[in-house]
Structures are given as C-alpha cells and as structure tokens.
Structure 1
Amino acid sequence: MDKTIYPGRVRGTLTPPCSKSYAQRALAAALLSNEVSVLRNVEYCSDTRSALRCIETLGARVSRTEEDELTIEGGLAPAADVLRVGESGLAARLFTPIAALCAKPLRIEGEGSLLQRPMGMMTEPLRQLGVRVRDNDGFLPLGVCGPLRGGEVTVDGSVSSQFVTGLLLALPCAEMDTTLRVHDAVSTPYLDMTIDTAARFGVEICHNDYSEFYIPGGQRYRAASFDIEGDWSAAAMLLAAGAIAGEVTVGNLSTLSRQADTAVTTALVRAGAAVIHEAERVTASRRPLHAFEFDATHCPDLFPALAALAAAAEGVSTLRGTSRLPLKECDRAEAIRSEYGRLGIEVDTSEPDVMRIRGGSIRPATVSSHGDHRMAMSLAVAALRAEGPVTIRGAECVSKSYPGFFEDMERIKISMA
C-alpha cells in the first residue's frame, strides 16, 4: 500500500496502542500460570496477535471478554507441534525458551523479514540447559525439545535482550535454580519490564547490574489482573509530530514506566521542544528546534522518531547507538540514510556507532518504508513539514505495532503547512 502524506499542522489528543512489549510478556506469563488471568487494554497489532497465537498453541485458553479485555486460563500443554511467530522477533526469542520447557519436539517458524534476523544466540545456551536444539545455521525455523532444566549458563546479550527475556520468564519453571550470566547486555530497560511482569505474576528474579541473574527454579506463576500500559514507542512518533508541526497530547502514558522509550522526552527537550508531563499524559509543542545529542543504545527503537526530529532541527544532530540498528526489521541506519536522503536531508553514518543528521527543508519525494513499521511512521512525521506531498511505499507495515497510525494522524491534522 502506498500512502501519500501532505504537509500540515497538527493539534489534538491521541491515545497510542498498548505496549506490545508489555502485552507479549504478560501473555507469556499468563500462559505459564495454571490459573485464570485477566489482561485489559489489549490491542491487536500483528505482533500481539502472534503472541496470542503462540500461547494458544502452547495450551492457553483465551477468551475475549470485552473489546480490549482477555481472560486467559494458563497451562503449558502444547496443542500442536509448530509455533508460528509471524514477523515478531520478540515472540521468536521469547517463546522458544518457553517451548523448551516441554518434553515434546516443537518447531518455531517465522515469516518475512524475521527469517533474516539472527537466532543463533539461543542455540548453545539452550543446549547447556538440557534442551535438544535443531539449528538452522542461526536462523528460523528451529526445533527444540526439553525440558529446560536450569543450571549455570552464559549468554551473549550484545545483539538483543529478547532471548534473555525469554530465559528469564521460562527458567522460574525449570526444576533447578539457574545462574544466568549475560555479557554486554543491551536494552536493559526491557529487562526491567520482564522482571516487573514476572513479579506481577508472583515470580522472583534477582540480578546484579544486568550481568548476572539468579532465578530460583520450581516457582509457580500466579494469576494476575491488570491493565497493559500505553506504548511509549508509538507515543514517541506522536510526540515528535507535535514538536515538529504543532502540539500533540498523548494519553494513557505512565511517566514512571519501565519502557525504554520514555527517554524520548529527554531528546525532545534537548532539541528545544516544549514538553509538559501530567497525570498519565504528555504534551509536546513546537518551538524553534536546534541540533541535539542523544545516546539511543538502550532504546534503539527511538532512532526513526529521532531522525524525524533531527531533520526538523537547525544544525547537525548526533545520535549514538547505530550498532543496534542493522538487525531490526531492516537495517534502520541504512534505511534512514537512504530515505531521508531522498527527502533532501543529509545523514552521515560513516563513523562507527554514530549517526549525524543535518536538519533542513523536506522536499517532496517517493520513499520506501523498507517493510519497517517504524520507518513508515518516521517518514510520515517528517512529511508534515515537507514542501509538498511525500508518498510512502509499503505503508501497510504499520500494522505490526500501530494499525491505526495513519487514521490518528489525520484526526489531529488541522491545516496545510
């Protein structure tokens, strides 16, 4: 699907989807409980649907009791031998260790861009924990047969925190206690989300500065009932739109959230935008924007929103942490460089782990989403201050995290630029 964005000013209040990161963790924990849990404020982007499909395959009984409410009767008892994770990297790396709790061969299959994303970091640690693993040269599909027994294991955390999350949620159900050592842990706020989710279900996980985790075995997940908080990753795009082209208030946001992308408010303030925090909502308003520096190593999903912000700021902004970007839905560093280049914005990625963006005028162009939901949203936000229409090819990919993004953007547009 092609989507043409016309320049314009924005003003209004929006509520982003629920955090798919929290939703997937909560769904996994509900599966591992043998009791009945209730999750509210659940919205059905494609990644959340993938997680739902996984827990049902693994034995959960799910009822949609309200439009945004799920009742989940947990219990790990696989109903099939293939786990289909769609294009969700988190689902692949989260549910593989959980599937490995089962003394039954299970196959994990993905599709689309996920088939090119690395999964090799899971193979040896799972084997050390007693799991038989059928590898595919480090990529999906792969097969596992447990049970995951616990013990001592070391994991490379430099590529992604998602597999660590899967282990942290699965290992409390193992027979033995586990000491999990993580080298070069990245995206540590996401690990905080995992520990928080486990605690809500009555499970204890201890750690020493994210480098060593102690997980008592033989624990039981208890039922939980809570609301899934709003998604700061989606909110970052909306707040960037307000800072660039008017004023946007985003609701259902916890300013005390453990989500990594709460850091967007720091970047907005550094760029000169006006940011107001209120109870469960944040407002970003346009002011003269200037170049800023920001390290997004632990919140790499912010890069596309920060690129739109930097393109609107006077001077050269410096963003650090680009080493986290090649293994996303696309190589986001290269996608930002090429597509913003089509819009007339100079993006320099020649220095290791650094991206420099020179702000300037946005020219009309046809650009590509690269099949990446965050790239599509980033380009749409940047287009608000373009000198003419910007057409985004492959815009349907926003369904991965924010299916109603373009409709919401139209709701808050108040005039042409």
Structure 2
Amino acid sequence: MSKKILSPITSPLKGRLTVPGDKSISHRAVIFGSLAKGTTTITHFLDGEDCFRTIDAFRAMGVPIQVEGDHVTIQGHGVEALQEPLQPLYLGNSGTTTRLLLGVLAGLPFHVTVHGDNSLTKRPMDRIVSPLRKMGARIDGREEGKYLPLSIRGGKLHPIHYQSPVKSAQVKSGILLAGLLTEGETSVTELASTRDHTELMLSAFNGFIQKDGLTARITGNQNLKGTHIDVPGDISSAAFFLAAGAIVKGSKLVLTDVGINPTRTGIIDVLQKMGASIQVVKQREVGGEPVGDITIEYSQLQGVELDGDIIPRIIDEIPIIALLASQANGKTVIRDAEELRYKETDRIEAVVKTLSALGASIEGTVDGMIITGEQTLKGATVDSFGDHRIGMMIAVASLLTNEPVTLKNSDCIAVSYPTFFDDLNLVLSK
C-alpha cells in the first residue's frame, strides 16, 4: 500500500500551472481515432492509467497506436479492420473505458470478455448493458450483467430511441457509439444535460450528430476520418488547484489552457456563487472545445445550496467542493447527487469519513451531504479508498492543517493526475 506524509505548509500558493489533458476527451480521441480511417494525432494526451486502458483495448483489437510522452499517433483503418482480441480485455479502474467500449464491442462481430480491478468490478454496468440489450446486444455477466466481468458476443444491432433514467455522459456516449455501428437512427434523451465531448469530437472526425435539447440523434455507418486533437487541460483536475487557491490565505494561481466546456464548468459557477475571486480570460476554441485561462485568488467564501441541473456539471468536483464548504461561512447543502455512490468508491461515504477525520463538520445524506463551514482542520491518517479524487481532496485539505496528514493509497492519484504532487510543490515553492 502506498503512503504519503503531507507536511503543513507555511506559505501561500503562487504561480502558473498547465494541468494535464482532459481525461474524458483523451479517452474519446483514442476511441474515434481507432474507428476512423487515416492518421489521428493527439497532443496533450493524459498519460494516466485510465486512458492507457483505452489504448490497450484498441491495441488488442489490432490498432497501431504509438505513444511518446503526451503525444499519441493512431493509424486508423476503419471499423472493418478491427480484430477480435485474443485475450480478455483488462480495463483496470476505468469506468469510462468500460462503458464507452461496451458500446463499440456490442456492434462488432466479436466475442470479448472485459474485466477490471476490485473497484471497477463493484461499479454498476447494467445502466449501459440494458440499453445495449434493447439494441440486440448479447451481454452476460455477474448478476445478469450488472457487474464485471462481462462477456459480449457482438453483432448486428438495431437502432433505439432511449430515455436515459440516469444522468450519465458515459451511458449516453456508449449508446451513441453503438448507434454509430448500427443502420438507421439511434437517439438518447437525457434527464439533464451532461458533458458533450462525444458529440463535439464526432464532428471533429467528420461525423455528424444532431442535438435537439436533451436529445442526441446519430445515424450509423458514417465514414470517420483521422484528424488532429489538441486536448485542453482537464477542468476536473484544475478544480483541486482552484480550491487550494481559494482557501489558502494569500494565494493567487493562474491555470492556463483549461477546457471550459459549459457542460463541465459547474465548479466555476459554484466558486462564483460562493463569492470566490475567480476570472476566466483568454477564452478561445481549440478543436471544437472552448478553452481559457483561469485566475483564482484567496477570498472568504459563503455556504451555498447545490441541487438540480448543476449536479451533473459538478459530479466529479463534489469532493473538493465539500472541502471548500468546510472553510466557507455558513452551511452548504448538496442534494440530488446519489450518482456519487456509484463512482470509484461510494464518494458520499468516503468524503464524509475523510473530512470528518480531518476535523470537518459534515453529515452524509442519501443523495448528498450537509457541511457546516469555518472549520479548523487537523492532521490525521486517512485513506483515499483507491479513489483519485478523494486522494487529491485530502492533499488539498492538508494545506490547511497544523499537523501532518498521512495519506494511504496515494498512488491512485496517477489515474488522472500523475504529476499532481510535482505541480503542488511547484506552486508552493514560489
């Protein structure tokens, strides 16, 4: 078990950072590049463990993929050139790889088994298996396909018009990818708008998708063409430094080239609602994705109530928002976030347990949490539960304690931010 001792700091955070490439976009760039014909180049690719699971899966299907640092080159030969894997596909801890890949595998004439680590094996897959079965996919697994390992006997699918009962971009994307391999029109209607990286990237690869409010429609058998994708910085990774800059006295940070897709900028909206000193400048578009530089300075925050449509836009940031709330004036209430219970760990339980151990006043609810602000945090030994976002939240919390914090299972942070501690030391040394 990896363990890291985080010592108290004596200075504010200062400087400029470029956070790693967006995890969601990196996954999708590999998927579409592997399905397309022609060369695809990806720069600022996230070289984290999750994204390499996607690369490994398509390499196992015969796609030539070269990686040099954060630069990826894919020699795509189209869907028809994909080959049946010789071995079961190991997907590690990557829920994104699993749910999106299931959509692809369902439409291929292959028999494939997918499995993952202990955490991934506990995450529900019936939310994507069920609509794929409606399309004609043959998928078997534990508890009637609710959990990995799963066996997929892919083949010809038929289109569906699906009303998604969950607020999940992974489910939407998995169905759309299956629809891409299906004759006719497939549509997905969401309960609330979720991240739209799949839709934007399809256009970048010469594909077409129609959006009508909460409904996305795709026709099958499109001819995708290889392209160049420059991945923006991951706002979910930037969120930890935005939080640190907002709650460590005297801090001022500039995060450059961050993706500011409106479906992902809930963390900025929450910080503004809490009264943070935050600005987004140099806004521009890169490969169809909006990008900007974000400046954050320390300020006194106020408690807020968060529920409804904003929750899908902050679902990955709620752990760090809970930490922000512990330092804000007043009470913060988070509702409608039951989806957190089905992440890498039960994030509601994990956040409550870790922040309570660090001295915060926090109470878990069925679908969220209640946090009382202006809490003095203390040192303790706490566990990331193997969840990268819990691990980074603990690291940021340690900036506020007077005693060391011992973080168990710290290596999980490499899933999405391999250079996190290097970057943290960089802005602490200014």
TM range (shorter): over 0.9
349, 358, 363: which one aligns with 1:334: 349
**Does the alignment pair 1:200 with 2:200?**
no
- Mapped to 2, the partners of 1:199 and 1:80 lie a distance apart of 28
Deviation, 1:370, is: 1.1
Deviation, 1:179, is: 3.1
Length-normalised TM-score, structure 2: 0.89
RMSD of the alignment, in Å?
Answer: 1.9
Deviation, 1:259, is: 4.9
- Mapped to 2, the partners of 1:242 and 1:294 lie a distance apart of 21
Q: 1:100 to 1:221 in 2, by over 3 A?
A: same
- Mapped to 2, the partners of 1:45 and 1:148 lie a distance apart of 33
**Does the alignment pair 1:78 with 2:80?**
no
Length-normalised TM-score, structure 1: 0.92
- Mapped to 2, the partners of 1:11 and 1:79 lie a distance apart of 50
Query: Aligned letter for 1:318?
Result: V
Give the equivalent residue in structure 2 for 1:116.
122
**Does the alignment pair 1:177 with 2:189?**
no
- Mapped to 1, the partners of 2:156 and 2:318 lie a distance apart of 36
307, 316, 334: which one aligns with 1:301: 316
- Mapped to 2, the partners of 1:126 and 1:290 lie a distance apart of 44
Deviation, 1:23, is: 0.6
Q: 1:283 to 1:148 in 2, by over 3 A?
A: farther
**Does the alignment pair 1:313 with 2:328?**
yes
Q: List aligned pairs for 1:4-403, cutoff 5 A.
A: 4-8=5-9, 9-64=12-67, 66-74=68-76, 75-76=78-79, 77-81=82-86, 82-137=88-143, 138-154=146-162, 156-158=164-166, 160-174=168-182, 176-182=183-189, 185-186=191-192, 188-190=193-195, 192-210=196-214, 212-245=215-248, 246-255=251-260, 257-260=261-264, 262-279=265-282, 280-295=292-307, 296-298=310-312, 299-350=314-365, 352-359=366-373, 360-403=375-418
Deviation, 1:109, is: 1.4
Question: Unaligned 5+ residue runs, structure 1?
Answer: none
- Mapped to 2, the partners of 1:153 and 1:139 lie a distance apart of 24
Identity of aligned residues (%): 29
Deviation, 1:157, is: 3.8
Give the equivalent residue in structure 1 for 2:288.
none
Give deviations 1:187-235, integer Å, cap 9, x for gaps. Answer: x332x1110011111111223322x432212211111112011100000
Q: 1:148 to 1:358 in 2, by over 3 A?
A: farther
Contact 1:135 1:142 in 2 (8 A): yes
- Mapped to 2, the partners of 1:249 and 1:7 lie a distance apart of 23
- Mapped to 1, the partners of 2:102 and 2:63 lie a distance apart of 16
- Mapped to 1, the partners of 2:165 and 2:212 lie a distance apart of 15
- Mapped to 2, the partners of 1:285 and 1:112 lie a distance apart of 39
Query: In structure 1, the residue corresponding to 2:148 is in which secondary structure?
Result: coil
Q: 1:354 to 1:139 in 2, by over 3 A?
A: closer
- Tell me the matched-pair count: 406
- Mapped to 2, the partners of 1:379 and 1:124 lie a distance apart of 36
Contact 1:371 1:397 in 2 (8 A): yes
- Mapped to 2, the partners of 1:116 and 1:67 lie a distance apart of 32
Give deviations 1:287-346, integer Å, cap 9, x for gaps. Answer: 122222333521210111101211111221222333121101111111111111111111
Give deviations 1:247-269, integer Å, cap 9, x for gaps. Answer: 221111144x2452x22112112
Query: In structure 2, the residue corresponding to 1:338 is in which secondary structure?
Result: helix
Q: 1:50 to 1:206 in 2, by over 3 A?
A: same
Query: In structure 2, the residue corresponding to 1:325 is in which secondary structure?
Result: helix
